[in-house]
Amino acid sequence: MALLKLNRIGLLTSGGDAPGMNAAIRAIVRTGLYNNLEVTGILNGYEGLIKKQFRPMDRNSVSNIIQRGGTILKTARSDQFKTDEGMDLALTHLQEEHIDALVVIGGDGTFTGAHIFGHKFDFPIVGLPGTIDNDLFGTDLTIGYDTAVNTVVEAVDKIRDTAQSHDRLFFVEVMGRDAGFIALRSGLASGADNILVPETKTNIDNLIRMLKYDWKRNKTSGIIIVSEGDDQGGAYEIARKVEEKFDEFDTRVTILGHIQRGGSPTAYDRVLASQLGYESVNALMNGERDIMIGMLNNQISYTPFEKAIKSQKSIKHTYLEIARILSL
């Protein structure tokens, strides 16, 4: 891979925000400056490229952000960037600003845009996995996932207090879009009785059978974690279906919602973001492009955007069984 002569790099965050994005921004800016590159922040993801919302980044612009959730560059999901006109405008603005290469932080939508744009204009782009959903192939964990899981666990611990005190069964809905990673890990960590994920078909009758078994054993409270993408519906829908056939439990539903996206990143997410941010600048200088930079088995790994987008990362199915057995 030939070394790439870079003077200025741009960086943006796109898609849903995730805790740790700021730590990644800090790492990219500081590594760029260390290598005598100029760094331009692009606001609002790809929208900022189209609207030319640029901001020069110096070392002070990323002071005191490693511990902050959200993204100081703001983020958006851009429909205009999917059009030829939008992409043309983005290229014009990159050229006017003398930006030679880009680092994009986000999920599969972000990488799809980067892949198409990079090929269309022969423009070097590398990506960092930033999403609470952890649904990206080519990295064991994504930036933001660990924090989101910890947020869920903290919330479920609190819900459990009420569940026990009032003898109630709670259905707790967590995020993840069509992936069950958040549900699975937080469910195991919070001692949930059952975890429902989109990757496995949910059978309501089986669920009721388990609940009846628990009830017979004098279990009067419980926690069921429901991933928002479950094939039987959201937590309200599933609770209703269960209650229709078995209503011994006093049931409540909690939707955790966007609290899962916010908050100070965990140490794990900060370290991951710092490492990947640092590697992204080195990768660009080494002439890499069209790849997502992730971490597999504690090693930095490069995955072509196309593969990261199209391949399915599988969940650990054994977690479902472990969670159930440990709750008995």
Could you list the active site residues?
133
Stretch that binds ligand F6P, among 51-59, 65-73, 97-105, 130-138 (CB under 6 A): 130-138
20 vs 107: CA distance, rounded Å: 14
47 near ligand F6P, rule: CB under 6 A: no
Among 38, 100, 108, 133, binds ligand F6P (CB under 6 A): 133
Stretch that binds ligand F6P, among 84-92, 129-137, 232-240, 273-281 (CB under 6 A): 129-137
177 near ligand F6P, rule: CB under 6 A: yes
313 near ligand F6P, rule: CB under 6 A: no
Q: Which is nearer to ligand F6P, 47 or 214 (CB)?
A: 47
Q: Is 299 exposed, middle or buried (0-12, 13-18, 19+ CB in 10 A)?
A: exposed
276 near ligand F6P, rule: CB under 6 A: no
Tokens linked to 60 = 């002070």
180 near ligand F6P, rule: CB under 6 A: no
Size of the site for ligand F6P (CB under 6 A): 10
13 near ligand F6P, rule: CB under 6 A: no
172 near ligand F6P, rule: CB under 6 A: no
132 near ligand F6P, rule: CB under 6 A: yes
Stretch that binds ligand F6P, among 33-41, 78-86, 174-182, 184-192 (CB under 6 A): 174-182
R_g over Cα of the chain: 22
Tokens linked to 219 = 């279990």
Among 93, 185, 261, 289, binds ligand F6P (CB under 6 A): 261
* Cα 184 to Cα 146, 154, 205, 316, distances in angstroms: 12, 15, 21, 8
Q: Which is nearer to ligand F6P, 48 or 109 (CB)?
A: 109
Q: Is 67 exposed, middle or buried (0-12, 13-18, 19+ CB in 10 A)?
A: exposed
Stretch that binds ligand F6P, among 171-179, 207-215, 244-252, 292-300 (CB under 6 A): 171-179
* Smallest distance, ligand F6P to C-beta of residue 126, A: 21
Question: Is residue 227 within 8 Å of residue 198, measured between CB atoms?
Answer: yes
Q: Is 21 exposed, middle or buried (0-12, 13-18, 19+ CB in 10 A)?
A: buried
131 near ligand F6P, rule: CB under 6 A: yes
62 vs 182: CA distance, rounded Å: 29
H/E stretch holding 253: strand 250-255
* Smallest distance, ligand F6P to C-beta of residue 18, A: 7
Q: Is 162 exposed, middle or buried (0-12, 13-18, 19+ CB in 10 A)?
A: middle
Q: Cβ contacts of residue 174 below 8 Å, gap of 6+?
A: 152, 182, 183, 186, 225, 226, 227, 228, 256, 260
292 near ligand F6P, rule: CB under 6 A: no
* Smallest distance, ligand F6P to C-beta of residue 258, A: 6
Residue among 29, 31, 30, 51 nearest 40 (CA): 29
Question: Is residue 7 within 8 Å of residue 38, measured between CB atoms?
Answer: yes
Among 86, 138, 176, 198, binds ligand F6P (CB under 6 A): 176
230 near ligand F6P, rule: CB under 6 A: no
Amino acid at 308: A
199 near ligand F6P, rule: CB under 6 A: no
* Smallest distance, ligand F6P to C-beta of residue 98, A: 33
173 near ligand F6P, rule: CB under 6 A: no
Torsions phi, psi of 172, nearest 5? -110, 120
185 near ligand F6P, rule: CB under 6 A: no
Footprint of ligand F6P on this chain (CB under 6 A)?
16, 107, 131-133, 175-177, 228, 261
